[in-house]
């Protein structure tokens, strides 16, 4: 095992996926108890072209948003450990998660890049209209199964990046900046199968970072890693943070 990376003193990049939030009660997609592993049909709900084409799917999507366990979720020890790390070191977090738990744990807003958007805002796919998810869900509760844009009548959706949807270029750029400037790059709780998020690992390594993968299951980027940690994230991440801070 290589331990020398812990002594590196430069910026720390972090890429997080759904696995960091499973201890907060939010299931991941591809883990053994993942939403897609248990119900492959759920994957359809996350594909933009299906969402736009099928009003029934949109109605299901609004109910899934209403029932998302993330509304009740609290940050866990891993989110808090990364916030602690950010108080002592330069840390940039690229998160694939839409749950805002990094910010709620105390990671500075400006240090978190939400590469797949967030579930708390709603956007119109036709015009510039935006509103809060809470506001849109009030309309659903009042009987509108698929609320439309009050401005142009267009389709509303959560401010998340669905499969098949264009990513925001500035957001991808900000993520790349984090990866390219890192001495240490921690990839935590992601199956590393979704691009371009996963390729941030390669970018970081090619720019000279040590990649540390923390994930229960193998990932395609394990061969790129200086160290792979299979222990549960809730204990592994606080321990890694302690070790980095100890130098």
- Pick between residue 103 and residue 190 the one whose CB is nearest to ligand NAD: 190
- Pick between residue 27 and residue 154 the one whose CB is nearest to ligand NAD: 27
Q: How far is the CB of 16 from ligand NAD (least distance, A)?
A: 8
Q: How far is the CB of 3 from ligand NAD (least distance, A)?
A: 21
- Pick between residue 149 and residue 162 the one whose CB is nearest to ligand NAD: 162
Q: How far is the CB of 104 from ligand NAD (least distance, A)?
A: 12
In the complex, which residue's CB is closest to ligand NAD?
Answer: 19
Strands 12-16 and 184-188: parallel
Provide the CB-side half-sphere exposure for 46 (13 A, CA).
15
Contacts made by residues 224-230, CB under 8 angstroms, sequence distance 24+: 225/187, 225/201, 226/2, 226/5, 227/1, 227/2, 227/5
- Report the side by side order of strands in the sheet with 117-124: 130-132, 117-124, 156-160
Q: How far is the CB of 67 from ligand NAD (least distance, A)?
A: 13
In DSSP terms, 17 is beta-bridged to: none
Residues of this chain that interact with ligand NAD (CB under 6 A) are 17-19, 21-23, 26, 28-31, 34, 96-99, 116, 189-191, 193-194, 215-217, 232-234
- Pick between residue 149 and residue 241 the one whose CB is nearest to ligand NAD: 241
- Pick between residue 17 and residue 92 the one whose CB is nearest to ligand NAD: 17
Per DSSP, the three-state class of 199 is coil
Check residue 200 and report its DSSP letter. Answer: H
Which residue of the set 58, 116, 139, 176 is catalytic? 116
Per DSSP, the three-state class of 30 is coil
Distance CA 124, CA 149 (A): 6
Task: Note if 79 is an active site residue.
Answer: no
Q: How far is the CB of 142 from ligand NAD (least distance, A)?
A: 27
Q: How far is CA 21 from CA 12, 66, 97, 108, 189, in A?
A: 20, 18, 8, 18, 8
Residues annotated as catalytic are 116
């Amino acid at each position: 095992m290589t331990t020398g990376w812990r002594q590196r003193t430069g910026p720390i990049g972090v890429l997080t996926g759904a696995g960091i939030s499973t201890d907060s009660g939010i299931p991941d997609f591809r883990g053994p108890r993942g939403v897609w592993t248990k119900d492959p049909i759920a994957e359809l709900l996350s594909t933009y072209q299906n969402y736009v084409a099928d009003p029934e799917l949109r109605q299901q999507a609004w109910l899934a948003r209403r029932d998302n366990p993330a509304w009740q979720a609290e940050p866990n020890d891993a989110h808090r450990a990364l916030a602690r790390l950010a108080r002592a070191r330069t840390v940039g977090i690229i998160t694939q998660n839409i749950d805002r738990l990094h910010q709620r744990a105390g990671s500075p807003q400006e240090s978190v890049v939400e590469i797949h958007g967030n579930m708390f805002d709603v956007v119109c796919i036709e015009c510039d209209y935006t509103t809060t998810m809470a506001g849109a869900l009030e309309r659903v509760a009042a009987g509108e199964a698929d609320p439309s844009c009050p401005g142009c009548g267009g389709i509303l959706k959560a401010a998340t990046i669905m499969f098949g949807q264009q990513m925001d270029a500035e957001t991808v750029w900000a993520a790349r900046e984090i990866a390219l400037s890192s001495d240490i790059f921690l990839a935590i709780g992601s199956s590393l199968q979704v691009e371009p998020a996963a390729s941030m690992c390669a970018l970081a390594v090619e720019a000279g970072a040590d990649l540390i993968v923390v994930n229960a299951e193998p990932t395609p980027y394990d061969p790129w890693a200086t160290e792979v940690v299979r222990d549960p994230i809730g204990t592994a991440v606080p321990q890694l943070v302690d070790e980095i801070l100890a130098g």
